[in-house]
């Protein structure tokens, strides 16, 4: 387990629903479709939430990596 790298964890989450917490305090929730080493991330069937409440349905979302605080299972 010691040699596990952080991006391996993201890899295991592909195809699953995740919460992406952003630096502007919003959350994007959707199915994790793709990511890269900059943590640029793509969600499918994505929604924007503010304080846990759905604010907008967005569909496919390309998120710039440097806006990400954390990603966890939805």
Contact residues: a second copy, CB under 8 A: 1-2, 4-11, 13-15, 19, 22-25, 28, 33-36, 39-42, 46, 58-73
Q: How far is the CB of 55 from a second copy (least distance, A)?
A: 10
**Quick one: which of 36, 2, 42 has its CA closest to 18?**
42
Q: Which is nearer to a second copy, 5 or 53 (CB)?
A: 5
Q: Toward a second copy, which CB reaches closer, 54 or 64?
A: 64
Q: Please give the Cα distance from 8 to 52 (Å, whole number).
A: 27
Q: Give least dist CB 54 to a second copy, A.
A: 15
Q: Nearest 5°: phi and psi at 16?
A: -105, 160
Backbone angles phi, psi at 24, to 5 degrees: -90, 15
């Amino acid at each position: 387990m010691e040699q596990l790298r952080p991006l391996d964890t993201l890899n295991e989450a592909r195809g699953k629903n995740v919460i992406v917490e952003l630096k502007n305090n919003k959350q994007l929730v959707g199915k994790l479709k793709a990511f890269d080493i900059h943590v640029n991330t793509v969600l499918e069937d994505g929604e924007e939430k503010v304080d846990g409440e759905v604010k907008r349905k967005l569909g496919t979302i390309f998120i710039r990596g440097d806006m990400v605080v954390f990603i966890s299972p939805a």
